[in-house]
Structure 1
Amino acid sequence: MIDRQHLSLMREIDRQGGLTAAAERLNMTQSAASHALRRLEAQTGVTLWRREGRRMRPTQAGRTLLDLARRLLPQFERADAAMADFAKGRRGLLRIGMECHPCYRWLLKVVEPYLVGWPDVDVDVRQAFQFGGLDALTDHEVDLLITPDPVARPGVGFTPVFGYDLVLAVGRGHPLAGRDHVRPEDLDDEVLITYPVGAERLDIYAQFLGPARRQPSARKEIETTDIMLQMVAAGRGVAPLPDWLLAEYAAALPIVGLPLGPEGLRKSIHVGLRDEDAALDYMAGFMAQAARVGAAV
Structure 2
Amino acid sequence: MNEPLDLATLRVIVAAAELGSISAAGDRLQLAVAAASARITALEEALGLRVFERSSRGVRLTPAGQMLVRRGREILVDMDRLSVDLHDYAKGLQGHVRLAANTSAMLEVLPAKLDRMAREHPLIRIDVVEHGSLDIPLMLLEGRADLGIVDMAHAPHGITLTDCFSDTLVLVVPAGHALAGTAPLALEQALDEQFIALHDGTALSSRLMRSASLSGKALKIRMQMRSFDAVCRMVAGGLGVAVLPLQAVGPQLASLPLATVPLTDAWAARTHRIALRSGVEPAPATLTLIDFLLR
Q: TM-score normalised to the size of structure 2?
A: 0.88
The alpha-carbon deviation at position 131 of structure 1 amounts to: 6.2
Q: Work out whether residues 19 and 25 of structure 2, in 8 Å CA contact, stay in contact via their aligned partners in 1.
A: yes
The residue identity in structure 2 corresponding to 1:241 is: L
Distance change >3 Å, CA 220–CA 153, structure 1 → 2: closer
Distance change >3 Å, CA 62–CA 156, structure 1 → 2: closer
From 226, 230, 234, the equivalent of 2:229 is 226
Is structure 2 residue 280 aligned with structure 1 residue 276? yes
Is the partner of 1:276 in helix, strand or coil? coil
Q: How does 1:9-24 map to 2 (within 5 A)?
A: 9-24=12-27
Deviations 1:83-137 (A, max 9, x none): 2211222234311113x33332122232222222221222222223386321211
Distance change >3 Å, CA 164–CA 124, structure 1 → 2: same
Aligned length: 289
Separation of aligned partners in 2, 1:130 and 1:52: 39
Q: How does 1:87-236 map to 2 (within 5 A)?
A: 87-98=90-101, 100-106=102-108, 107-129=110-132, 132-152=135-155, 156-198=159-201, 202-206=206-210, 208-236=211-239
Q: Work out whether residues 102 and 225 of structure 1, in 8 Å CA contact, stay in contact via their aligned partners in 2.
A: no
Q: Work out whether residues 176 and 182 of structure 1, in 8 Å CA contact, stay in contact via their aligned partners in 2.
A: no
Unaligned residue ranges in structure 1 (runs of 5+): 293-297
Unaligned residue ranges in structure 2 (runs of 5+): none
Separation of aligned partners in 2, 1:42 and 1:65: 15
Distance change >3 Å, CA 50–CA 281, structure 1 → 2: closer
Q: Work out whether residues 95 and 285 of structure 2, in 8 Å CA contact, stay in contact via their aligned partners in 1.
A: no
RMSD between aligned alpha carbons? 2.4
Is structure 2 residue 274 aligned with structure 1 residue 245? no
From 34, 37, 45, the equivalent of 1:34 is 37
Separation of aligned partners in 2, 1:9 and 1:130: 31
Separation of aligned partners in 1, 2:246 and 2:148: 22
The alpha-carbon deviation at position 191 of structure 1 amounts to: 1.8
Q: Work out whether residues 169 and 246 of structure 1, in 8 Å CA contact, stay in contact via their aligned partners in 2.
A: no
Q: Work out whether residues 277 and 283 of structure 1, in 8 Å CA contact, stay in contact via their aligned partners in 2.
A: no
Q: Work out whether residues 117 and 292 of structure 2, in 8 Å CA contact, stay in contact via their aligned partners in 1.
A: yes
Is the partner of 2:169 in helix, strand or coil? strand
Is the partner of 2:103 in helix, strand or coil? coil
Separation of aligned partners in 2, 1:120 and 1:69: 31
The residue identity in structure 2 corresponding to 1:101 is: T
Separation of aligned partners in 2, 1:162 and 1:36: 49
The residue identity in structure 1 corresponding to 2:114 is: V
Separation of aligned partners in 2, 1:71 and 1:264: 35
Distance change >3 Å, CA 128–CA 212, structure 1 → 2: same
Q: Work out whether residues 133 and 150 of structure 2, in 8 Å CA contact, stay in contact via their aligned partners in 1.
A: no
Distance change >3 Å, CA 92–CA 58, structure 1 → 2: same
Separation of aligned partners in 2, 1:276 and 1:199: 27
Distance change >3 Å, CA 4–CA 129, structure 1 → 2: same
Q: Work out whether residues 163 and 273 of structure 2, in 8 Å CA contact, stay in contact via their aligned partners in 1.
A: yes
Deviations 1:128-160 (A, max 9, x none): 338632121122210111101154357643221
